[in-house]
A and B are shown apart, each in its own frame.
Chain A
Amino acid sequence: MTSVGSRRLRSKSFERKLERTAYLFILPAAILLIAFCIVPMLGSFWVSMQKMGVDLGQAEFVGLDNYTKALSDRRFIQSIGITLKYTAVEVPLQMIIGVLLSALLAKNTRLNKLFRSIYFLPVVASAVTVGVTWQLVLHSNIGIFTYWLKWLGFADVNLLNNTSTAIYVVVFVAIWKTFGISAIILVSAIQNIPDSLFEASALDGAGKVRQFFSVTLPSIMPSFWFLLMTRIIGSLQMFDIVYTMTGGGPSRSTTTMVVYIYDQAFNSMNKTGYATAMSEFLFAGIMLVTALMYYIMNKTSD
């Protein structure tokens, strides 16, 4: 009895030791997470309740005033609408192009490898370079793209300076810049599908199109969902290409949420707190979308 009891005690102490060791292993990661994610998040929430500029010394506590102000700020509401419009156009197009291209480039032929590299090139280019280059290409007067369109008979081509077309130009450039990464992720997902599935479906008489819809698509769904989620998050946070290409214009027609937040934080006086409050709305929106996507993803995989 005594020896059983002491064995149990030894086993418990061993388990505790193991537990402690496990905690020690995750401690560095936990410290980094707390220092660089949790604390700044809490800090930003505190900032969002202050009336302040970049100087913490002049901060004045205003409670939830910044939040209520944001909800009645017509420009902020307008920027939410523009962001949603951008996301609604960019994400489906990006996903469709990504899936189609990945299906075409999945085989490891020399030509496919070359095209994959070419498609990936814009991903590694800086957003500023991309923005400025496309600005010149689409310039209403000296742009090469405009010149071609005029040569084809289109008159008064002015895509970037038109309030109704500027947002779609930004969508196009954003897709051009990032579809390479979508294609690469989906190509690797397709390449991981066992050949036996394709062989079995071929024996059952499935053609290429049927195979794509019945074998390829269901098999790449985990990667597809991941990509969809990251694309939605990226679109909701759109800033760099808009900022370099249009600066939010013409007539605020491309002022996304982050462009407006940036403008308020850095171009106005004492509005860092207000800009942070608007960022919290964006954060909440992204969190909600992510949670919803996870839920749908888990539901689908079940």
Chain B
Amino acid sequence: MKKLFALMLALSMLLTMGVASAEAEKVTVVFWNSWTGGDGDALQALVTKFNESQDEVYIDMTRSTSFGDMLQTSLPTQEAADLILLNCNDMNKYSSYLLPITDIWENTSLKAEDFSDAYLSMAKSGEELYGIPFQISTYMMYYNKDLFEAAGIEEVPTTFDGWTEAAEKITALSTEEKPIYGSGLFYCYNGQNQSVMQRFGTGYMIEGDEENGFTPNLLDNQALADALIWMKNLYDNGYNPKERDIDSMMAAGQIGLMTNGGWLKGTLDAAGVNYGIAMLPTVTGEDQADWALGDLNCFMMTTSATEETKLAAYKFIEWWFTGSGLEAQEVTQGVDYSNITPNAEWSISMCYVNAYLPTVNSPEYQANETLVTISPSDTAQVQMFTELGTLFWSDASTLHGQMVEDWVFNGPVNPTYEDVQDFLAVYQDDLASYIDEYYN
């Protein structure tokens, strides 16, 4: 018995060593990102497929909500991940620790001309390339089809007045047992509320550039005042809840209309909500494709990477855009994914607009009505805070969420344009102090 036990132990040790040495032969690329929601599970599944598809590179992926903290504390000591998914807005913040990857065109089969020039240029600093576009998270309008039907609404609103009318009708369905709100605007989250506000034509919060100087753009801004009054009226009239967690209410069938990114789809699919996706409204309803607030996230390499891990990461990035032979994921929309690239699968299943033209032009992408519907025009305005890459970007974005929430919850009822100006004066000063701090 003892001999048998010893033999089994020895065998299992040998097997373990075999597996370990096979893993050791691969170059390990440490990959960090902040995709912790349902989309993160899909990303993990794709990374696992890459790891199983070849014997040269092993992607060791960590997803964390503390991604920013991890980067800040590990980059200066060269202990960060080799590969990261980073928002282009943060390129300036980490500029000393990002590795130029312009040589990716020489070391892979990828070509610069296959990427949308507008988005690729956002990942450049001077002539050097620092990122390869991974995902463009545009915001879109989610609506509950069942609530629309119950309220007798036949057309999806294309204007903000239409939004208010629909919200009023849907809110009327509310009962004591099940409160229902027609509108589900987030007041505290920047992306969500800005995606709506920019469509009023507010322009940047801070205008100008480094050469000519920057100016805060909150006061005497009619479009911004209109947006704020519209948002506040929705709340004051009881059409919009005072809640930060709108997603769970939408999943519970209590919200008629809301704005969010593709990451909400998984939650709504899982909850069995009968929902639709459309482009967000505008003032006139005619220029919906001309506004495209969204974050561009890119594959980027950090200075913690070595030449070996950099080349290994290139292999993964190349596979992401050109690999094939994938099977369907759970979060599909009934499309046959058996022969498309990981990038196309990611984009279609998650409803993320893509910057890789072969994917955009593929029949599968074009067959996805929602994706085509929410795709912005080539000349769409992408940002609202300020021009990409300004030093005060983070401060301005933090201020924005606080400003909107403060206005909606604490501002006067039935506000006028003058009320908005009085309220914004102090925030205008804040923005001026950021400009002064970083550029004067």
Q: Is B68 interfacial (CB-CB < 8 Å)?
A: yes
Q: Using Cβ atoms and an 8 Å threshold, which residues of chain A touch B92?
A: 269
Binds B, one of A23-31, A108-116, A226-234, A244-252: A244-252
Q: Which residues, 237 to 291 on A, are CB-close (under 8 Å) to B?
A: 247, 249-252, 263, 266-270
Contact at A251–B409, with CB atoms within 8 Å? yes
Residue from A162, A269, A270 with most neighbouring chain B CB atoms (10 Å): A269
**Which one of B249, B394, B410 contacts A141 once the chains associate, using CB atoms below 8 Å?**
B249
CA distance A38 to B386 in the complex (A): 42
Report B53-77 CB contacts with A as 1/0, cut-off 8 Å: 0000000000000001100110110
Q: Is A55 interfacial (CB-CB < 8 Å)?
A: yes
**Which one of B73, B244, B252, B394 contacts A267 once the chains associate, using CB atoms below 8 Å?**
B394
Nearest B-chain residue to A271, judged by Cβ: B395
Q: Using Cβ atoms and an 8 Å threshold, which residues of chain B touch A140?
A: 241-243
Q: How many residues of A contact B (CB 8 A)?
A: 27
Q: Is B52 interfacial (CB-CB < 8 Å)?
A: no
Q: Using Cβ atoms and an 8 Å threshold, which residues of chain B touch A269?
A: 92-93, 391-395, 438
Q: Is A58 interfacial (CB-CB < 8 Å)?
A: yes
Q: Using Cβ atoms and an 8 Å threshold, which residues of chain B touch A250?
A: 188, 242, 244, 405, 409
Q: Is A126 interfacial (CB-CB < 8 Å)?
A: no
Contact at B241–A142, with CB atoms within 8 Å? no
Nearest A-chain residue to B93, judged by Cβ: A269
Q: Using Cβ atoms and an 8 Å threshold, which residues of chain A touch B179?
A: 141
Contact at B96–A58, with CB atoms within 8 Å? yes
Q: Measured between C-beta atoms, what is the minimum distance from A298 to chain B in Å?
A: 40
Q: Is A117 interfacial (CB-CB < 8 Å)?
A: no
Contact at B243–A158, with CB atoms within 8 Å? yes
Contact at B93–A142, with CB atoms within 8 Å? no
Q: Is B287 interfacial (CB-CB < 8 Å)?
A: no
**Which one of A56, A141, A263 contacts B248 once the chains associate, using CB atoms below 8 Å?**
A141
Nearest A-chain residue to B90, judged by Cβ: A269
Q: Is A139 interfacial (CB-CB < 8 Å)?
A: yes
Q: Is A18 interfacial (CB-CB < 8 Å)?
A: no
Q: Is A104 interfacial (CB-CB < 8 Å)?
A: no
Q: Using Cβ atoms and an 8 Å threshold, which residues of chain A touch B398?
A: 263, 267-268
CA distance A266 to B93 in the complex (A): 10
Q: Measured between C-beta atoms, what is the minimum distance from A264 to chain B in Å?
A: 9
Report B398-419 CB contacts with A as 1/0, cut-off 8 Å: 1000100110011000000000
Q: A54-B75, A266-B68, A268-B394 in contact; A163/B241 too (CB < 8 A)?
A: no
Q: How many residues of B contact A (CB 8 A)?
A: 33
Contact at B402–A139, with CB atoms within 8 Å? no
CA distance A227 to B249 in the complex (A): 42
**Which one of A55, A141, A263 contacts B96 once the chains associate, using CB atoms below 8 Å?**
A55
Nearest B-chain residue to A265, judged by Cβ: B72
Q: Is B307 interfacial (CB-CB < 8 Å)?
A: no
CA distance A161 to B410 in the complex (A): 12
Q: Using Cβ atoms and an 8 Å threshold, which residues of chain B touch A205?
A: none
Q: Is A53 interfacial (CB-CB < 8 Å)?
A: yes
Q: Measured between C-beta atoms, what is the minimum distance from A173 to chain B in Å?
A: 16
Q: Is B192 interfacial (CB-CB < 8 Å)?
A: no
Q: Is B343 interfacial (CB-CB < 8 Å)?
A: no
Q: Is A57 interfacial (CB-CB < 8 Å)?
A: yes
Q: Measured between C-beta atoms, what is the minimum distance from A59 to chain B in Å?
A: 12
Q: Using Cβ atoms and an 8 Å threshold, which residues of chain B touch A54?
A: 72-73, 75-76
Report B168-183 CB contacts with A as 1/0, cut-off 8 Å: 0000000000010000
Q: Which residues, 48 to 68 on A, are CB-close (under 8 Å) to B?
A: 53-58
Report B261-283 CB contacts with A as 1/0, cut-off 8 Å: 00000000000000000000000
Contact at B245–A139, with CB atoms within 8 Å? yes
Q: Which residues, 131 to 163 on A, are CB-close (under 8 Å) to B?
A: 135, 139-142, 158, 160-163
Q: Please, could you name 19 A-B residue pairs with CB atoms under 8 Å apart, sorted by A?
A: A54-B72, A55-B96, A140-B241, A141-B248, A141-B252, A141-B254, A160-B244, A161-B244, A249-B244, A249-B402, A250-B188, A250-B242, A250-B244, A251-B409, A251-B410, A263-B398, A266-B68, A268-B394, A269-B394
